[in-house]
Amino acid sequence: MKYITLFILSLVFWLLLTFKLTVPNIIVGSVASLICSLFFGRFFVTNVYKLLQPQRYFWFIIYLFIFVWECLKANIDVAYRVLHPAMPIRPGIVKVKTTLKSDMAKMLLANSITMTPGTISVDIIDDYLYIHWIYIKSEDPEVYTEIITGAFEKYIKRIIE
C-alpha cells in the first residue's frame, strides 16, 4: 500500500514540475515514479491511512503559518548578530529531550529546529536531539527545551502521530 501511495504522490509531483499533460510525458513520469517508489518505498510513512484524515491537514496549515513567522524571526535575529559590531554570540551544543516517537515526526522536528532562531540540529540519538545554538540564553535544561521545541512539538504531534 505504501508503495502505491508513494507512486501516486511522485507522479503528481512530476506532472506539477513538467506541467505538460501529453502521453509521452506521463509515460516517462510513470517510469521515473515507479523506480523511485521501488527504491524508497520502504522509507515512506508506515501508516498510509493517516494521509486521509482531514484534521491533520488543518493542523498542518496552522503549523505552516507559525513556522513562517518563526522563520522570519530567525532571519532577523541572525541578521542582527551578523551586523552588530561586537557580535553578541555565545555558541554551544545543547542536548534536548523530545517526546515524539515516530521517525517521520523526529525528522520534521529536526528540520523545523534548523530553520528557527539560531539553532541547527546536529544529531538525533534515541530520544535526544543535539542542537548547535548560536546564543545560549539559559543553562537550565527545562528552560531551553521549552524555548527550542515548545513552539513546534505539540503541532507536529497532532500532524503526524
Partner 1 sequence: MNNMISLIFITIGILFNLLGCIGIIRLPDTYNRLQAATKAVTLGCCSILVGVLFHFGFSDAGIKALVAIPILFFASTTGAHALIRGTYHFGIKLGKKSVKDDYKDAVK
Residues that bind partner 1 (CB under 8 A): 13, 16-17, 19, 71-72, 74-75, 78-79, 81-83, 87, 89-95, 110-111, 114-115, 118, 120-123, 125, 128, 130, 132, 134, 136, 139
Report how far residue 32's alpha carbon sits from residue 15's, in angstroms, rounded to the nearest whole number: 12
Phi, psi of 135 (to 5 degrees): -145, 100
Nearer to partner 1, 1 or 43 (CB): 43
Min CB(157)–partner 1 separation in Å: 20
Nearer to partner 1, 1 or 79 (CB): 79
Closest CA to 45 of 73, 6, 94, 80: 6
Please spell the DSSP secondary structure of 126-148, one letter per residue: TTEEEEEESB---S-HHHHHHHH
Report how far residue 93's alpha carbon sits from residue 130's, in angstroms, rounded to the nearest whole number: 7
Enter the DSSP assignment of 25: H
Min CB(54)–partner 1 separation in Å: 21
Q: What is the CA radius of gyration of the chain?
A: 20
The CB density around residue 107, as the number of other CB atoms within 10 Å, is: 15
Min CB(110)–partner 1 separation in Å: 7
Nearer to partner 1, 34 or 122 (CB): 122
Min CB(80)–partner 1 separation in Å: 10
Distance from chain centroid for Cα 100: 13
Grid cell locating 29: 513520469
Nearer to partner 1, 52 or 125 (CB): 125
Min CB(81)–partner 1 separation in Å: 8
Nearer to partner 1, 1 or 133 (CB): 133
